[in-house]
Amino acid sequence: MPSGETASAEPTSIPPTQLNGPWLATPLELGDPQIAVISDACAAAARTSLGEAEANLPTALVDARGENVATAILAGDELAIECRARIDSAGGFTVDLVVRLAPAPAPANGERIGPTTIVTIPDREGDRMVAVGRVGSTASEVKISFDDGSEVVASTGNGWFAAWWPGRARPRQIVASDGAIDDPPHDASMAPP
């Protein structure tokens, strides 16, 4: 499906009103039908604007946290794309953008966070920031923290993490933990803006 076309969602446990509701610091748990519709829309847009290889990538994760937007990462061993989609009030999805992500290997040798991209998206009043990166297989959670003490919990899956937040605040740190009580989180090195 070319950028700007819309697909309809099948019934799921997350109603469109919640997807279009206020922003949440934690991701919504999408149902398989919603993930499939977003993935299919992203693959179709990738086929049109990037190529067949990108269109056939498996879905690594879909991050949705309100305000009618979702970020999907489709990734294989050597190729990955980011897809930004909007969710309409009927549960349909419109793809705004698909872009190739720079090749980045998954963290190794005990590292939990790998290369991270943080970009400003001017698609809402006051803009929003999106963080996308690699996360090691032992990490069970990725948190993004800010100077004011607030935190955003990222969506994780298949060696990737993604999250967005309102405004233009740059994170103080991005940490991953494996959930063990005695295991301190691993702090990601932040790339310059």
pLDDT by position in tens, the chain (length 193): 334 444 444 444 576 678 889 999 999 999 898 899 999 999 999 999 999 999 999 999 999 999 999 999 999 988 999 999 998 767 677 899 999 998 888 787 667 888 889 999 999 899 999 999 999 888 889 999 999 999 999 999 999 999 999 999 999 999 998 765 444 444 444 433 3
Q: Are 15 and 82 in contact (CB under 8 A)?
A: no
Token pair for 45:
């847009």
Q: How far is CA 53 from CA 6, 77, 78, 106, in A?
A: 22, 12, 11, 20
Q: Give the residue carrying structure tokens 């032992």.
A: 138
What backbone torsions phi and psi does residue 37 show, to the nearest 5 degrees?
-65, -45
Please tell me whether residue 104 adopts helix, strand or coil conformation: coil
pLDDT value of position 98: 97
pLDDT value of position 147: 97
Q: What is the pTM of this model?
A: 0.83
Q: Are 175 and 189 in contact (CB under 8 A)?
A: no
Across 140-166, b (16+ Cβ under 10 Å) vs e yields ebbbbbeeeeeebbbbbbebbbbbbbe
pLDDT value of position 137: 82
